[in-house]
Amino acid sequence: GESFGAWTMGDDSHAMPLVDQANLACGFHAADPLTMQRTVALAVAHGVRIGAHPAYPDVVGFGRRQMACSPEEVTALVLYQLGALEAFCRAAGVQVAYVKPHGALYNDLVRDDALLAAVLEACASYRKGLPLMVLALTDNSRELRLADEADVPLMFEAFADRAYLADGQLAPRRLSGAVHHDPQRILEQALAIAQGEPFPDIDGKPLRLSADSLCVHGDNAESLAVLRRLRALLDAS
Is residue 65 a contact partner of residue 104, using CB atoms and an 8 Å limit?
Answer: yes
| Every domain of the chain and the residues it spans | 12-163+211-216
Is residue 153 a contact partner of residue 124, using CB atoms and an 8 Å limit?
Answer: no
pLDDT mean over 77-103: 98
pLDDT tier for residue 75 given thresholds of 50, 70 and 90: very high
Is residue 214 a contact partner of residue 6, using CB atoms and an 8 Å limit?
Answer: no
pLDDT tier for residue 114 given thresholds of 50, 70 and 90: very high
Q: What is the mean pLDDT of the chain?
A: 94
pLDDT mean over 33-53: 98
- The pLDDT of residue 234: 81
- β-strands 132-135, 154-159: how paired? parallel
Residue-wise pLDDT tens digits, 149-191: 999 999 999 999 999 999 999 999 889 999 998 889 999 999 9
* Three-class secondary structure of residue 67 per DSSP: coil
10 Å CB burial of residue 100 (0-12, 13-18, 19+) is buried
* CATH fold for the domain made of 12-163+211-216: TIM Barrel (3.20.20)
Name the phi and psi angles at 221, rounded to 5.
Answer: -60, -20
Q: Which residues make beta-bridge pairs with 30?
A: none
